[in-house]
């Protein structure tokens, strides 16, 4: 059985769509476990102060992960490892040992320093939480500091397995990560309290690291710590990773600011923000991350060979399918938002008020789905072209705009009754406390939209103008999505009279049936418009995309 699984994980790449679909499949499996994880959280805790503490505790370790552990990311290490693999295995082993040793000292030292300063950082970032749950917040934050260490080592080991042309174990890693968190909820929390939740996260990160070890050891490349570190080699790795690290750090600093702001708005609002963020990440991981990651190896190869026309065609091809899939997904999530949230999270301590607020926040977050997905593609396009400074400048600019918008929208919402009434009525959350939290996902979506516009303009200036094919795809996808959304919304009303919407199963059937009717209408419109993407998608499925070998999507947050 093990040999059959390993055989499945070692087949050759066949094309962009096959790779994207396979990555999307593994992302879907991971997100299913993520949904189980969040449902357990919602059922046991609801949108409560305990969940606020749990999600707040991620912010500092997450920032360490993207600022330090990303130094040894797959995209940075693969060129170094591949170069030495072709020349001399001894040179490769020496480089791996050297990188492992230097990184170990760096990440453990930083984590140790932060460990000591967690109490002061917690008071500064989350004064409201620290007043009532200070000990819990400090404890779980300190436990979570193990995760960046394990994820960093996982990146290093994963780079080796991929250079050796094995199917990415990163596709399996996120599954194990969520398994660890689920074990923490059902197994560790009843025994050790909130500290058990942190131990579950650390266990998941450890499992994601351990899965690489058997193969790497079998190749004789398992890293060993050495005191005679070659800082020149490690310096080259750091220098190459710096723009990417700063780009990621800018994005996560925005999330830190938004979570900090959430903590000051009321009890349970960090939870509302985080639950809705996790739900919008499901289509993003399946569509945006999958296509951008699948396109990266080919983009890098084409640009390195000077085939810039083919490079741009590959970008355009990926962008077409991102637009084709993301707009319908965005519309469906908006129309079915209440059903999605109620089915996934609505049990136990997660009440109707929590559902309505989370659904409204989800609708605002998911409006940025197309923008987020295309930004990921453009960033990797620039990385493939060796232009790492441009994404840094654009993302920092977009991040600053998002932060300014967050402060501005909060002040606007709280100081203007008409504005508050408009948004509450539009999103159907009238009369609820905590509606101010909706300004944060709105700020995020507006900031990402500006980010996309900047990338779109610069990418065309740096390479060439996009052809009209993207406009055609956008028109067809938007037209089908509008019809799909209208039909789904109307059938929600119809099926509300057919199914018992007082039960979980009834709500599921209502949303599922309305969604199916909407999708059917959307497909009919696409067929009438002669959509090329439908034909390509069907062809991809017939070509058995599950046999494809791809470079996997690396973890970019805890």
In three-state form (DSSP H/G/I as H, E/B as E, the rest C), the secondary structure along 43-97 is HHHCCCHHHHHHHHHCHHHHHHHHHCHHHHCHHHHHHHHHHHHHHCHHHHHHHHH
Is residue 124 within a helix (H) or strand (E), and if so which, with residue range? helix 89-125
- Yes or no: say if 421 and 341 are a contact pair by the CB < 8 Å rule: no
Sequence-separated (6 or more) residues with CB below 8 Å from residue 39: 344, 345, 347
pLDDT given for residue 491 in this prediction: 95
Sequence-separated (6 or more) residues with CB below 8 Å from residue 388: 243, 244, 247, 382
Centre a 10 Å sphere on the Cβ of residue 470 and count the other Cβ atoms it contains.
15
pLDDT given for residue 140 in this prediction: 95
Sequence-separated (6 or more) residues with CB below 8 Å from residue 235: none
Is residue 407 within a helix (H) or strand (E), and if so which, with residue range? helix 389-415
pLDDT given for residue 3 in this prediction: 43
What are the structure tokens assigned to 452, written together? 């996309």
Sign, CA torsion 527/533/534/535: positive
> How far is CA 310 from each of CA 317, 319, 348, rounded to the nearest angstrom?
10, 14, 53
What are the structure tokens assigned to 95, written together? 């480089």
pLDDT given for residue 8 in this prediction: 39
**What is the chain's mean pLDDT, rounded?**
84
pLDDT given for residue 553 in this prediction: 47
Would you mind telling me the total number of residues written for the chain in this entry? 558
Sequence-separated (6 or more) residues with CB below 8 Å from residue 31: 281, 282, 285, 286
CA-CA-CA-CA dihedral for 117, 119, 123, 126, to nearest 10: 100
Q: Tell me which DSSP letter residue 220 carries.
A: T
CA-CA-CA-CA dihedral for 385, 455, 394, 292, to nearest 10: -60
Q: Return the ∠ at Cα 336 (arms to 333 and 341), rounded to 5°.
A: 85
Report how far residue 498's alpha carbon sits from residue 339's, in angstroms, rounded to the nearest whole number: 15
- Yes or no: say if 550 and 293 are a contact pair by the CB < 8 Å rule: yes
Tell me the H-state helices in 164-289.
173-183, 189-192, 194-210, 213-218, 231-263, 269-283
pLDDT given for residue 429 in this prediction: 92
Report how far residue 97's alpha carbon sits from residue 222's, in angstroms, rounded to the nearest whole number: 8
What are the structure tokens assigned to 337, written together? 């938002």
Residue ranges of the chain with per-residue pLDDT less than 50: 1-14, 544-553
Q: Where are the domains of the chain?
A: 49-253, 268-543
Residue with tokens 């693999």: 85
């Amino acid at each position: 059985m093990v040999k059959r699984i390993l055989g499945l994980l070692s087949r050759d790449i066949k094309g962009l769509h096959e790779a994207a679909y396979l990555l999307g499949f593994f992302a879907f499996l991971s997100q299913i476990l993520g949904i189980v994880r969040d449902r357990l959280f919602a059922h046991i805790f609801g949108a409560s102060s305990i969940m606020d503490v749990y999600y707040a505790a991620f912010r500092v370790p997450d920032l360490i992960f993207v600022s330090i552990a990303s130094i040894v990311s797959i995209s940075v290490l693969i060129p170094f490892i591949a170069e030495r693999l072709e020349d001399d295995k001894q040179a490769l082993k020496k480089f791996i040992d050297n990188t492992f040793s230097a990184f170990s000292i760096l990440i453990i030292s930083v984590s140790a320093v932060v460990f000591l300063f967690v109490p002061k950082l917690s008071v500064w970032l989350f004064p409201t939480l620290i007043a009532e749950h200070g000990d819990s917040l400090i404890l779980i934050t300190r436990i979570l500091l193990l995760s960046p260490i394990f994820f960093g080592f996982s990146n290093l080991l994963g780079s080796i397995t991929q250079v050796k042309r094995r199917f990415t174990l990163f596709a399996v890693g996120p599954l194990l990560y969520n398994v660890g968190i689920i074990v923490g909820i059902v197994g560790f929390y009843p025994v050790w309290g909130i500290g058990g939740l942190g131990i579950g996260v650390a266990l998941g990160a450890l499992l994601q690291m351990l899965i690489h070890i058997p193969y790497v050891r079998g190749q004789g490349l398992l890293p060993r710590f050495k005191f005679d570190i070659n800082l020149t080699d490690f310096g080259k790795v750091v220098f190459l990773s710096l723009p990417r690290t700063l780009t990621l750090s800018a994005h996560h600093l925005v999330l830190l600011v938004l979570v900090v702001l959430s903590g000051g708005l009321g009890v349970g609002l960090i939870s509302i923000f985080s639950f809705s963020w996790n739900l919008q990440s499901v289509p993003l991981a399946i569509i945006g991350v999958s296509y951008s990651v699948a396109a990266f190896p080919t983009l890098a190869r084409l640009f390195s060979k000077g085939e810039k026309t083919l490079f741009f065609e590959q970008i355009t091809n990926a962008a077409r399918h991102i637009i084709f899939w993301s707009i319908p997904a965005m519309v469906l999530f908006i129309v079915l938002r209440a059903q999605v949230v109620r089915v996934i999270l609505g049990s136990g301590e997660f009440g109707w008020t929590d559902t309505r607020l989370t659904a409204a926040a989800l609708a605002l977050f998911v409006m940025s789905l197309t923008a987020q997905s295309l930004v990921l593609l453009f960033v990797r396009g620039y990385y493939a072209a060796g232009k790492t400074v441009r994404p840094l400048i654009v993302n920092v600019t977009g991040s600053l705009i998002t932060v300014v918008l967050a402060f501005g929208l909060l002040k606007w919402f709280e100081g203007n009754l008409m504005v508050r009434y408009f948004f509450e009525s539009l999103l159907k959350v009238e009369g609820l406390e905590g509606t101010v939290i909706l300004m944060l996902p709105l700020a995020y979506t507006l900031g990402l939209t500006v980010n996309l516009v900047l990338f779109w303009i610069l990418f065309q200036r740096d390479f060439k103008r996009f052809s009209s094919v993207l406009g055609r795809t956008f028109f067809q996808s938007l037209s089908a999505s509008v019809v799909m959304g209208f039909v789904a919304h109307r059938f929600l009303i119809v099926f509300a009279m057919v199914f018992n919407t007082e039960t979980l199963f009834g709500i599921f059937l209502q949303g599922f049936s309305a969604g199916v009717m909407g999708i059917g209408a959307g497909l009919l419109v696409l067929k009438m418009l002669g959509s090329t993407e439908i034909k390509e998608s069907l062809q991809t499925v017939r070509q058995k995309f599950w046999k494809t070998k791809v470079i996997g999507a690396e973890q970019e947050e805890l």
